[in-house]
Amino acid sequence: MDESFGTDASRESRIILVVDDDAPIWHCIRRILEQANYVVLTSQSGDHAWTLIEQGDASADLVLTDIVMPGSLDGLSLAAKIRQREPKLRVLFMTGSVLEDSKYLAEITNKRVLRKPFSPRS
């Protein structure tokens, strides 16, 4: 990850797309990130997030996505589509699920994952 991503000087211009099907969670994440001077866009599903990205309505610097979500695109599928279309767009995963499914474990072994619940210091 770009080391300047989290510096105070760079935050105002950084846009984070938060994707989570649980509205209280993305509301909380939005508040925390906005207090840290990030611009935050939100989406309640992988399908909606993909539509925003595909139509150019979400010019984000980072996508923070839940892994397990209803719909045709979970977080891993969304990330795969993003990698094909926007290979430089960074994706950070978050999950509150116990990931015992070998498909998910294999996919996220070498990826950054925030375990929910997490705090601003995580």
AA letter at 22: D
CATH fold of 3-115: Rossmann fold (3.40.50)
CA angle centred on 34, ends 82 and 89, rounded to 5°: 15
The residues facing 113 across adjacent strands are 93
| DSSP 8-class letter at 58 | -
| Residues in CB range of 113: below 8 A, 6 or more apart | 67, 92, 93, 94, 95
AA letter at 11: R
Distance in Å from the first CA to the final CA of the chain:
16
pTM of this structure: 0.79
Match 């925390």 to its residue by tokens.
Answer: 32
pLDDT of residue 118: 67
pLDDT of residue 104: 59
| DSSP 8-class letter at 4 | G
Q: What beta strand segments (E) does the chain contain? A: 15-19, 39-43, 62-66, 90-95, 113-115
Position 1 pLDDT exceeds 50: no
pLDDT of residue 100: 55
